[in-house]
Structures are given as structure tokens and as C-alpha cells.
Amino acid sequence: MLVRLDLDDARWRDFVSSAEEALPFHHPSWASLLAECYGFRPFALALEEEGHIRAGLPVLEVRGLLGGRRWSSLPFTDHCPPLATTQAALEQLPAALDEARERAGAARVELHGELSGPHAASWPTAVTHTLGLRRDAAELFAAFHRSQVQRNVRKAEESRLVLRRAEREEDLTEAFYGLHLETRRRQGTPVQPRRFFRLLWRRVLEPGLGYLTLAYDGSAPAAGAVFLAWNGTVTYKYGASDPRLLGLRPNHLIFWDAIRRACESGYRSFDFGRTDFENGGLREFKSRWGAQEVPLVYSTVAGAAPAAGHGHGRSARALATVIRRSPAWVCRGLGEALYKYAA
């Protein structure tokens, strides 16, 4: 039987915490953050058997600009596959989800993970890069690309850069946000509302489910990165940098610091995050750290796989051009007004 649970229900929290394959995105705090920031309705869908949860996923009910409802697990999230204790339970999940969404009047269920069966459609949407960690960080360093990673890390260590782990909300909402806004403007992409980063600090980073590292050149932030960390996995989520200071290799220094700390803290894996297929330069950068490239497969229940080129049409290219050619407040304003509708 498929039941709907609150994200703070003890049964759901215990199920997620006991799942070895659960990622930082499965932690209830992540879905709660998204729900609070964008006004989505959060819950978990769980397949119960004899009083025990056998499979399930966190869900946000999302409404489009025209008011249509759908369920997403989870928007603005790289990877959040359904969790299951057995293969049999996983195989029962698509039919149960289809029945539940039909009863609730939701158009479809979107999953940022793979789900197969007659009720589901799946497709590769991007790639991720995962680095298995060992206790000895020196072993990992020796396996990095010699000229493109090792040399750049050493160059950054010998530079005037100083790394600082964020200790105040303002480190995220002011120092990092400023870098992030300019990075998004250069990319032609609307930036998340500033309130998202306030909530990210309060709901995720401050409670110890992740952290922000900033690289400073004197008093100026050269680069920063937000990492989520929970259940044996460290996941790179957001990064931003000042292009004028990239010659100091601040991003190499930040990534190496994160990997080394993860090893020392006993984490099992380091996830470099989602990369689009067409972004060959970023894929190569992540692979040079010894990470294994794996396709990210997304799925829908009661919905078809998107057509090739989905999300990269003429209107998206036109918007990107406008943002790149406009002051930063345009990028910020579009994010405040429209970001939630990209879910």
C-alpha cells in the first residue's frame, strides 16, 4: 500500500537514514528547503508492507504557470532515485505511484532517478562524476591528472589564496551570492532568489548537512563552492568564481580541500555533480580528478520522455542573450520572479 507521509514523520526519517544508498538530496531537510523557498507542497510517498516502509521517495507538488499540478522528486536536484529495501518493492513502485497521482489529480510524476516498468519512461539526461574515496588522500592525489590537476593544485597552494570555511550566514548570502550572481549572469541563467541561500544556510549548512568554502585573495573572494555532506557522500552543488582571479586556480584548491577533508572524515564517495552532455570542457575537468563518469537517468510516471533538445529551444537562447547583455539586477529580478517555474 502506498501512503503519503510528512517529511518529518519518524517512519520516513528512519527509513531514509537506514538506506545506505541515500544521498544528501534524500535528507528531509533538502526537500523542506525547496518547499519553503518556492511554495511547493512537500511530502513523501512510501510503499508500506506489514507496517514497514519497503520503498519510497520525497516529493514536491509543483504548479506550472498555467496552474497544472505535477509531482516532482525532486526539482532543482541533480539525482534523487527512489529508495527501496528490495528489488521486488522497487518493481511495485511505478504502478503504485501511477495510481496515487491519478487519485490526486496530478498530471504525472517526475523522478530525478531511474525507474523502469510499463508505467514509467526513462531517458539519460546528463552525467555525473563520482570519485571513490580512500582513507589516504595522498593515494587519490597521485591518481589525479599530473599536469591539469596536480600541478594546478600545487600552484594554488603556493599562491596568495587563503581558504575559509563559512561560519556566518552572510558568508553565503553576501560573499558567495555576489560571485554566484555574476557567474549566472555570464552564463545567461537566472539566479536563485536570495532567500534560497538564507534558507540553505539555516536548513542545511548550519545544521551540519553541508558547508561553504571560499577562497580569498586578500579581502576579495576569488571563488566559492557549496557542498552537501551526509550519509557517506559529499556532493558538490554550487560553485562560483571571479574570472579575473582564475589564474590563481582557486577552484582546484577548493576541490582538493573538499576531497582531502572527505577522506579524513571517512566519507565513501565524492560526487562532482551534474554536467550536461554538451559541456565537454566541464566533463573533462571532472574526469581529470579520477572520477568515474556515469549517465544520470531521469524518469516519469504517466509521462513521456522529452524530445531531443528539450529545454534548449530558441526562447531559452534568447533569454540567455538578454541576461548576458544586461546589468546584474536583470538576472536577479528574473530569478526572483520566475525561478520557481523552472522546476
pLDDT digits (tens, 9 = 90+) for 233-259: 999 999 999 999 999 999 999 999 999
Q: Is 200 exposed, middle or buried (0-12, 13-18, 19+ CB in 10 A)?
A: buried
* Digit-coded pLDDT (tens) for 52-106: 999 999 999 998 777 789 999 999 999 999 999 999 999 999 999 999 999 999 9
Please report which confidence band the pLDDT of residue 311 belongs to, taking 50, 70 and 90 as the band edges: very low
Give the pLDDT confidence score for residue 65 in this predicted structure: 76
The average pLDDT across 296-311 equals 74
Q: How far apart are CA 154 and CA 141, in angstroms?
A: 11
The overall average pLDDT reported for the chain is 93
Class (C level, CATH) for 2-126+299-306: alpha beta
Q: Is the pLDDT of residue 310 over 60?
A: no
- The CATH H-level (homologous superfamily) assignment of domain 134-267 is Gcn5-related N-acetyltransferase (GNAT) (3.40.630.30)
Residue 262: its pLDDT value, please?
97
Average pLDDT over residues 169-195: 95
Give pLDDT, residue 309. 46
Residues 6+ away with beta carbon under 8 Å from 151 = none
Query: Looking at the predicted structure, is the pLDDT value of residue 226 above 90?
Result: yes
| Grid cell in block for residue 150 | 596536480
The domain locations on the chain are 2-126+299-306, 134-267
**pTM metric for this prediction:** 0.94
Q: Could you tell me what percent of the chain has a pLDDT over 70? A: 97
- CA-to-CA dists, residue 41 to 33, 61, 141, angstroms: 11, 5, 43
Residue 190 has pLDDT above 60, yes or no: yes
